[in-house]
Chain A
Amino acid sequence: MHTVDARGLSCPEPVILTRKAVTAGELPCQVLVDNPTARENVTRYAQHQGCQVSVTEENGTYTLTLTK
């Protein structure tokens, strides 16, 4: 599965990287982020694009799995 590593990147870079993956048709994919703002922003963007988003958290890293 394609993985977007957006950990540590400031707003709005995680969403831009996610958009790149989504528009390239790389679904399903995983997006890694490490702060709640990025988690919320990526989730919101993905849902706008009609994706299903599931989130898991481990040691401060959120893994968002995007599927259509």
Chain B
Amino acid sequence: MELKREKTGIILAGLVIGVIAAVLVVLGNPLNMGFCIACFLRDTAGALGLHSAANVQYIRPEIIGLVLGSFLLATVRKEFGSKGGSAPVTRFVLGFFVMIGCLMFLGCPFRMILRLAGGDLNAVFGLVGFVCGILVGVFFLTRGYSLKRTYQLPALEGRILPVVQVVLLVLLIAAPAFIHFTEAGGGPGAQHAAIAVSLVAGLVVGALAQRTRLCMVGGIRDVVLFREWKLLAGFVAIFASALVCNLILTGATPNVYFKLGMAGQAVAHTDGLWNALGMLLVGFGCVLLGGCPLRQLVLAGEGNTDSAITVIGLVAGAAFAHNFGLASSGEGPTANGKIAVLIGIAVVAIIACCNTFGKKRGE
């Protein structure tokens, strides 16, 4: 009975999140990018001057809302707790390379679903790679992979990332000269809904994700490991809801929100192999982290400082990707990006091996 209630809850949450994602696009976000944790962290990194790609610089209120929505609900439900100490440097490195994979594909797992819901068939290659990455991660999990336990920390530790989000919100509203914003018409960074709308959307989705434990990686992982469909149901509900909204909006407005095919998709490229390999790195890395980038933001809001470190790793990866030409564009992947993804897969595999087989030798 309890399980049925949980499943109904996550399906309803997924349906609401799909609608919110579609509406954000209508109100100004780039196509198929109502939400994208990777893209939005990258935009925020650019706004703070951590990279200088002028077309992707904006402090995304959705990210602020996601963390604060989770923080507020966790506090109200007495689930907030400062904890950490589970291999933070390893988590930083995993977060870094997960971002490299995301920026090869041009989206996080959340956006992968939204791209599919917009008819972007390039995301099918991403999904195949993502599932393969998760299967590789599950291989290590079932053989004892662990980053060891977390410990309780002083309350301030867990509150720092939520406070940083408030500071970012102040900087967004005050818009001082040292914050970089993409100029109108200058690229995806200039395409956004109004601040209040994006913030409220983030707050709602953050709270829903905290309540339902929604996780894009966990959905597939739990089906493979335990034949448990709850998290995947949320995933499917987001896809179904966003798809229906896109079809309705395409029919009811002069704009196109659903275009079936591979060529000419928004903020996407058509290189299937590298779309798949990028998301393989993401799936593999996220299983080792215990959750997708969305889940990391939500856990950080609940006071998990290991997830906060992971988020900082994601931001560092985004800055590095744009400073060193690793991120793909609509033109396709770059040579540097391909090398970085291969290095990323190797590094993540080494981390997996060391934390699975290494401990058997007492390391």
Chain A residues with CB under 8 Å of chain B are 7-13, 15-16, 19, 35-37, 40, 43-45, 47-48, 60
Chain A nearest Cβ from B103, distance in angstroms? 25
Assess A36 versus B226: contact at CB under 8 Å? Given A8-B149, A10-B147, A12-B218.
no
Q: Are B226 and A15 in contact (CB under 8 A)?
A: yes
Query: Closest Cβ of chain B: how far from A44's Cβ, in Å?
Result: 6
Q: Is B81 an interface residue (CB 8 A)?
A: yes
Instruction: Kindly list chain A residues whose C-beta atoms are within 8 Å of the C-beta of B225.
Output: 12, 15-16
Tally of A-B residue pairs with Cβ under 8 A? 59
Q: Cβ of A8 and Cβ of B218 under 8 Å apart?
A: no
Chain B, interface residues (CB within 8 Å), range: 20 to 34
What CA separation (Å) do A16 and B6 show in the bound complex? 21
Q: In the assembly, what is the distance between CA of A44 and CA of B291, in Å?
A: 19
Closest A residue by C-beta to B291: A11
> Which of A16, A40, A48 gathers the greatest number of chain B CB atoms within 10 Å?
A16
Asked whether B83 lies within 8 Å of A13 as measured between CB atoms, the reply is: no
B149→A12 contact, CB < 8 A: no
Q: A10-B86, A10-B290 are in contact. Are A47 and B3 (CB under 8 A)?
A: yes
Nearest B-chain residue to A13, judged by Cβ: B146
Q: How far is the CA of A13 from the CA of B356 in the complex (A)?
A: 12
Q: Are B218 and A44 in contact (CB under 8 A)?
A: no
Chain B window 5-26, contacts with chain A (Cβ cutoff 8 Å), 1 for yes, 0 for no:
0100000000000000000000
Expressed in whole angstroms, the minimum distance between the Cβ of B142 and any Cβ of chain A is: 7
Q: Using Cβ atoms and an 8 Å threshold, which residues of chain A touch B152?
A: 60
- Indicate if B150 sits at the interface (CB-CB under 8 A): yes
Task: Check if B150 sits within 8 Å of A10, measured CB to CB.
Answer: yes
Rounded to whole Å, the gap between the CB of A60 and the closest CB of chain B is: 7
Which A residue's beta carbon lies closest to that of B225?
Answer: A12
> Across the interface, which residues of A come within 8 angstroms of B83, CB to CB?
8
Question: In the complex, are the beta carbons of A60 and B228 less than 8 A apart?
Answer: no
Q: How far is the CA of A15 from the CA of B218 in the complex (A)?
A: 13
Can you spell out 9 A-B residue pairs with CB atoms less than 8 angstroms apart?
A8-B148, A8-B149, A9-B148, A12-B222, A16-B142, A35-B79, A40-B6, A44-B6, A48-B227
1/0 contact string of B124-160 vs chain A (CB within 8 Å):
0000000000000000011000111111100000000
Interchain CB contact (< 8 A) of A48 among B142, B218, B226, B306: B226
From residue A27, how far is it (CB to closest CB) to chain B in Å?
Answer: 17
Contact B291–A45 (Cβ < 8 Å): no
Return chain A residues, CB-CB under 8 Å to B146.
9, 13
CA gap between A66 and B213 in the complex, in Å? 23
The answer to whether the Cβ of B51 comes within 8 Å of any Cβ in the partner chain is: no
